[in-house]
Amino acid sequence: KSLTHIDKAYEFTKDLVANGGTILFVGTKKQAQEAIATEALRVGMPYINERWLGGLLTNFQTVSKRLARLKELEVMDFKDKKTSGYTKKELLILSREKVKLEKTLGGVRNVTKTPSAIWVVDTIKEHLAITEAKKLGIPVIAILDTNCDPDEVTIGIPGNDDAIRSVHLLTRVIADAVAEGLKTRHSKPEQVQPLADWEQELLASSESAPVVAEVAVVEEAVVVAETPVVEEVAVVEVAAVAETVTEKEAE
């Protein structure tokens, strides 16, 4: 039974990523933190493995400001007090702010939009993440332990979310699906953007009118081109005759 659900989750994830989607890996419990970070980083996907920041999905604009603040702090040189313009105490406070932001938002520092789906370890502990995802209609793929409600997720995989080995295995399966989806995405030829309605109308009108004119030009060219060919041949023949006569007279 678990294999059927694993296959379903794998195919769903692979297809989603192949079509340009992203998966947010979520697991803040101790047993999941390492697996979540390791596998998400392996396939270049965002992750949360410390603490879920309320509004990460439903209030992404506010979170984006915190991400901008994190990037601002990351480029600061906290050791150079003279050029920074801050006192030693202020630099210490800013350094602590940076560490705190890195801990909570480091895994999503490059996120610019809400994810296409989320992978969750322990639906009970991560109930805030699931609630926000459901509000936005974001699919939830998760490990379903015996105490979890299957109605809370889109695709559930029966498993033990307290066992480190189980968490590592299932998270790796989802990461492998992401990797497969990325391969498919990169192997696809670039799709040409469809024309807008007004562009299609303009193209249709510009193509319809010149068709008759083009045919007329071709027909005219054929008629006009026939006469000069005959005239040219006649001129050549006259010149040849004249040359022959001249030669005879010379003799």
Q: Residue 208: its pLDDT value, please?
A: 55
Question: Do residues 183 and 167 share a domain?
Answer: yes
Per residue, the 3-state secondary structure of the chain, as one string, reads: CHHHHHHHHHHHHHHHHHCCCCEEEECCCHHHHHHHHHHHHHCCCCEECCCCCCCCCCCHHHHHHHHHHHHHHHCCCCCCHHHHCCCHHHHHHHHHHHHHHHHHHHHHCCCCCCCCEEEECCCCCCHHHHHHHHHHCCCEEEEECCCCCHHHCCEEEECCCCCHHHHHHHHHHHHHHHHHHHHHHHHCCCCCCCCCHHHHHHHHHHHHHHHHHHHHHHHHHHHHHHHHHHHHHHHHHHHHHHHHHHHHHHC
Question: Do residues 60 and 162 share a domain?
Answer: yes
Q: Residue 183: its pLDDT value, please?
A: 95
Q: Residue 96: its pLDDT value, please?
A: 93
Per-residue pLDDT of the chain (251 residues; tens, 9 = 90+): 678 999 999 999 999 999 999 999 999 999 999 999 999 999 999 999 999 999 999 998 889 999 999 999 988 887 777 667 788 888 899 999 999 999 999 999 999 899 999 999 999 999 999 999 999 999 999 999 999 999 999 999 999 999 999 999 999 999 999 999 999 998 876 554 454 454 455 456 545 554 443 434 344 444 444 444 444 444 444 444 445 444 444 44
Q: Residue 163: its pLDDT value, please?
A: 95
Report the CATH number that the domain containing residue 50 is assigned in CATH.
3.40.50.10490
Question: Do residues 89 and 136 share a domain?
Answer: yes
Q: Residue 159: its pLDDT value, please?
A: 94
Owning domain of residue 249: 194-251
Question: Do residues 198 and 178 share a domain?
Answer: no
Q: Residue 188: its pLDDT value, please?
A: 72
Sheet containing 117-120: give its strands across: 47-48, 23-26, 117-120, 140-144, 155-158
Q: Considering 144, 170, 187, which residue would you say is the last residue of a domain?
A: 187
Q: Residue 204: its pLDDT value, please?
A: 60
